[in-house]
């Protein structure tokens, strides 16, 4: 009698394996795609927060928040980012809340990060 050594896979085993890969692979790829989008959003938020912090500090230190333009951009180094400042007085206290918002387009929407601080107008 001859004995058959079983080498390789049966057709049923191969088909089951392909079916599992067909189910798992698209789900895994969707997860990877979502993770990449979240990483991109987090990176842009971090950049925007850093730019906002620097610009707000500059406007407060120089006193330009009182008379400067209310919006602008960050030049060639950060071409997609723009900033806008909003100043609101606090009920006759001589103190103002200065809010700087940095924004940029991202996948058809606008990503925005806002930072606020309190400042006293010069001469008060």
For the stretch 97-112, pLDDT in tens is 999 999 999 989 999 9
Name the pTM for this structure.
0.74
Residues in Cβ contact with 123 at an 8 Å cutoff, skipping those fewer than 6 apart: none
- Residue ranges covered by each domain of the chain: 11-120
pLDDT at 104: 96
For the stretch 6-18, pLDDT in tens is 678 889 999 999 9
56 against 90, higher pLDDT: 56
Confidence category of residue 92, pLDDT binned at 50, 70, 90:
confident
CATH of domain 11-120: 3.30.1300
For the stretch 46-81, pLDDT in tens is 999 999 999 999 999 988 888 867 899 999 999 999
| Rounded Cα distance, 111 and 103, in Å | 5
- DSSP assignment of 61-120 equals HHTGGGTS-SEEE-GGGSTT-EEEEEEEEETTTTEEEEEEEEEEEETTEEEEEEEEEEEE
Distance, first Cα to last Cα, the chain: 108
If one counts every other C-beta atom within 10 angstroms of the C-beta of residue 16, the result is 12
pLDDT at 89: 87
Could you tell me what percentage of the chain is helix, strand and coil, using 3-state DSSP and rounding each to the nearest 5? Answer: 45, 30, 25
């Amino acid at each position: 009698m001859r004995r058959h050594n079983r080498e390789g896979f049966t057709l049923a085993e191969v088909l089951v394996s392909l079916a599992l890969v067909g189910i798992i692979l698209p789900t895994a790829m969707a997860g990877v795609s979502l993770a990449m989008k979240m990483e991109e959003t987090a990176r842009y938020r971090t950049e925007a927060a850093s730019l906002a912090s620097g610009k707000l500090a500059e406007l407060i230190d120089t006193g330009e928040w009182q008379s400067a333009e209310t919006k602008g951009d960050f030049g060639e180094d950060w071409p997609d980012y723009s900033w806008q400042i909003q100043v609101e007085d606090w009920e006759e206290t001589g103190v103002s809340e200065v809010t700087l918002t940095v924004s940029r387009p991202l996948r058809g929407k606008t990503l925005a990060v806002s930072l606020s601080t309190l400042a006293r107008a010069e001469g008060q």
